[in-house]
Amino acid sequence: MPRDDPKDLHPDGMIVIRDLFKSFGENRVLQGLNLDVKRGEDMVVIGRSGSGKSVLIKCIIGLIKPDRGSIYINGEDIVPFKEKNLNEMRKKFGMLFQFGALFDSMPVWENVGFGLKQHTELKNDEIRDIVKEKLKMVGLDGVDDLMPSELSGGMKKRVSLARAIAMEPEILLYDEPTTGLDPIMADVINELIIRLREKLKVTSIAITHDMVSAYKIANRIAMLYQGKIIEVGTPDEIRNSNNDVVQQFIQGRSEGPITRGK
Ligand SMILES: Nc1ncnc2c1ncn2[C@@H]1O[C@H](COP(=O)(O)OP(=O)(O)OP(=O)(O)O)[C@@H](O)[C@H]1O
Ligand SMILES: [Mg+2]
């Protein structure tokens, strides 16, 4: 078996990341990161603010070019891809950005239907019908013609989620889906993420530092620390991890190896 063929090594690996490096000047953010995400699972990546979670997810969707390493999506390494192939590849992805990233000048329906308008030949009234259905999936009704400025933070997250699923992606990437929401709205989003996985059978990566959310939505949790994934396991395995760094993080302790700089 050829050692470097990810299909042989990981037959059910939807996203397989090998030896990924990314620096910004002197700032070494990703330093040989490895991660395997199986088809249909929800992998949650946890880690401190500034540890590189958003950089990782932007590498996966091709918005940031890694310095070296491989990211296999369905067995194909996307790191060498040029913009044209990246655009094609991105159609497989739905992405919920950390800060929502809705277009302020467009009503909700155009925001949700943006990808459909760009990538399909559908007419506006067909797009509106699909948008209505996606908004219903995230529990929103009658907001189609509102502007983003007229929505609460939780509604914006749900509109962003509707946009992420509008093109029926195979892979969903969530950057901090529950940050800034009250605990009840956060739980609504958690339930939605679980429902989407079950209903749409998507593979997903969610990054968060909200451990309540991580335990709830994850099939497995991976901890990013000093540019690498230092531990991967089921929520129970992570809870019972004997890695001091993992324990300090999940317990939210100010004293421990992370803050001693080890
Ligand atoms: N485009 C960029 N140019 C230069 N440096 C960047 C860029 N994007 C991220 N960084 C740096 O990379 C590091 C990791 O940032 P990143 O946004 O991935 O953190 P994060 O883990 O998502 O944090 P948070 O939990 O606060 O969102 C930071 O030091 C940040 O300053
Ligand atoms: Mg981030």
CA 126 to ligand 1 centroid distance, Å: 39
With a 6 Å cutoff on the Cβ, whether 227 touches ligand 1 is no
Residue ranges per structural domain of the chain: 6-92+169-251
Express each pLDDT in 28-70 by its tens digit: 999 999 999 999 999 999 999 999 999 999 999 999 999 999 9
With a 6 Å cutoff on the Cβ, whether 53 touches ligand 1 is yes
With a 6 Å cutoff on the Cβ, whether 25 touches ligand 1 is no
Mean pLDDT of the chain: 90
Express each pLDDT in 227-248 by its tens digit: 999 999 999 999 999 999 999 9
With a 6 Å cutoff on the Cβ, whether 51 touches ligand 1 is yes
Where is pLDDT greater, at 179 or 144?
144
CB 62 within 8 A of CB 81: yes
pTM of the model: 0.90
Q: Which of 30, 32, 34, 71 is nearest to 53 (CA)?
A: 30
- With cut-offs at 50, 70 and 90, classify the pLDDT of residue 10: low
| 6-92+169-251 CATH, one of 3.40.50.300, 3.40.1350.10, 3.40.50.1450, 1.10.569.10 | 3.40.50.300
CA 154 to ligand 2 centroid distance, Å: 18
CB-based burial, 218-242: b 16+ in 10 Å, e otherwise: bebbbbbbbbbbbbbbebeebeebe
Indicate whether 2 pLDDT > 60: no
Neighbours of 55 (CB within 10 A): 22
